[in-house]
Structure 1
């Protein structure tokens, strides 16, 4: 009787392990990045971006204006959104570098009620003169949320833009890295731009970059997207960030140089 019980338990365990393996296999099978490589397109005025290729426009990217004041606007459709920040009364979509994480951790997402100024002339926005930068996108389909990106170039005066390709992660709520075209590679392979250690931290942490910075700025946002701390005039390849009066919790750090976003990362403070 005991032998039979052991056989039954062994058989049951084997079936359970098989089911777990099948679940893992299916998750890997159906989790994928949907990548669309288009012929580089520089529209006359408007580009309707259909991120998931379902014939419904998800974002409208367009430029217009008069001589000397021309600009480019990102206008999300329906409940979709782009990631950026609100500065001096203007919504500015971020221009992300390769491998930057795109997901809920970017903290600030703006929908159709707040169109984003990607560039206006040569000085407004993060996009004027950008090459191979990524627009962070959030796609809402029914009750599901997906994250993706679009890669663009901009003229220095924002008089024209070129869209090159785009992608999204087909698993709801899953992060995607800017430029990633499959689960195993990115469009432009790159090492992590910076590292944060320790993270989580109690009193201080160190941010180290793979290349030397010149007059860079490190900005810290809380989980509601409000700026709570800023370190300016950063040079070299590392900076020590002191906790000071910051409470424990989730934060996001953004590193910029020459008004261009280098990377965005999550930061956790504990007691």
Structure 2
């Protein structure tokens, strides 16, 4: 009986340790695997919308319409090595018009780059996007040697004479999947009630973080897009945190603000040159 009890205790301890490790792994993945969501005022441009999917001031895709009568249409032109997903029918490249919760990643069979601009809609009967409302364009973003996946939500009139882009997002972990319509819940659930503002953001030299709560001995960690800590500021108090760029290179970062070992805010910042 004693041997059995000891065995059960050892097994219980191992299960407990494994559970803790799994929880830590899940928590880390929620912090480092972030969906960067950008909500914009619904934009209905006269001709062209320059889409900067990762908000780094570089245009990644150009959505535009032109023509007249039955030949008026809406096109997607990837820039650099970026791409959209779709199919090829009767000599025309047609981007998919996805509904919500469709996985967007390498498993999508066909991707087309700048060599093959896509026709979202043409006239009243060509393309998957004719008369589309709240549909999602699957996008692949290439930055250096990394590949990211994202989406843009777009409406197009039934005669293809106008389009409206509403919002967009991408998964900041290279090669990770994102679902169409999925946004950045991990960031917003912490930050929506804890920070007044981060201004300016993006910034070149410094920014100021305003908090709603009065901090006492708080800690601010700065992570790069790979989830590595690149700076730590300790013993922070008050409502205002002045953050200097110092030696940080340009790019996307995440800040995590903790107080008494509790996470009270997670936000993204962008440093530019």
What is the TM-score with the length of structure 1 in the denominator? Answer: 0.59
Aligned to 2:70, what secondary structure does the other structure show?
coil
Please give the residue correspondences for 1:187-202 in structure 2 after superposition, counting only pairs within 5 Å: none
Aligned to 1:180, what secondary structure does the other structure show?
coil
1:124 aligns with 2:126: yes
Q: Distance in 1 between matches of 2:63 and 2:85?
A: 14
1:108-149: CA deviation from partner (whole Å, max 9, x where unpaired): 000000000001101110001000000000001111111100
C-alpha distance 141-71 of structure 1, shift in aligned 2 (>3 A): same
Aligned to 2:165, what secondary structure does the other structure show?
strand
Q: Greater Rg, structure 1 or structure 2?
A: 2
Please give the residue correspondences for 1:133-172 in structure 2 after superposition, counting only pairs within 5 Å: 133-172=135-174
Shift of 1:68: 2.7
1:2-52: CA deviation from partner (whole Å, max 9, x where unpaired): xxxxxxxxxxx9999988875554332111110000000100000000000
Q: How many residues align?
A: 172
Unaligned runs of 5+ in 1: 1-12, 185-271
1:36 aligns with 2:38: yes
Of 176, 179, 186 in structure 2, the residue corresponding to residue 177 of structure 1 is 179
* Contact 2:70–2:122 (8 Å) recurs in 1: no
Shift of 1:160: 0.3
1:212-236: CA deviation from partner (whole Å, max 9, x where unpaired): xxxxxxxxxxxxxxxxxxxxxxxxx
Shift of 1:97: 0.4
Q: Distance in 1 between matches of 2:130 and 2:19?
A: 54
Q: Distance in 2 between matches of 1:24 and 1:37?
A: 27
Q: Distance in 2 between matches of 1:182 and 1:81?
A: 22
Aligned to 2:69, what secondary structure does the other structure show?
coil
* Contact 2:140–2:149 (8 Å) recurs in 1: yes
1:77 aligns with 2:79: yes
Aligned to 1:159, what secondary structure does the other structure show?
coil
What residue is the counterpart of 1:104 in the other structure? 106
Q: Distance in 1 between matches of 2:80 and 2:127?
A: 24
Q: Distance in 1 between matches of 2:55 and 2:126?
A: 31
CA RMSD of aligned residues (A): 2.2
Q: Distance in 2 between matches of 1:84 and 1:114?
A: 11
Q: Distance in 1 between matches of 2:144 and 2:182?
A: 25
Please give the residue correspondences for 1:260-271 in structure 2 after superposition, counting only pairs within 5 Å: none
Aligned to 2:107, what secondary structure does the other structure show?
helix
Shift of 1:74: 0.2
Q: Distance in 2 between matches of 1:111 and 1:169?
A: 19
Aligned to 1:104, what secondary structure does the other structure show?
coil
Aligned to 1:118, what secondary structure does the other structure show?
strand
What is the TM-score with the length of structure 2 in the denominator? Answer: 0.59
Shift of 1:100: 1.0
Q: Distance in 2 between matches of 1:50 and 1:158?
A: 23
Q: Distance in 1 between matches of 2:32 and 2:126?
A: 41
Shift of 1:171: 1.1
Q: Distance in 2 between matches of 1:94 and 1:18?
A: 42
Aligned to 1:43, what secondary structure does the other structure show?
coil
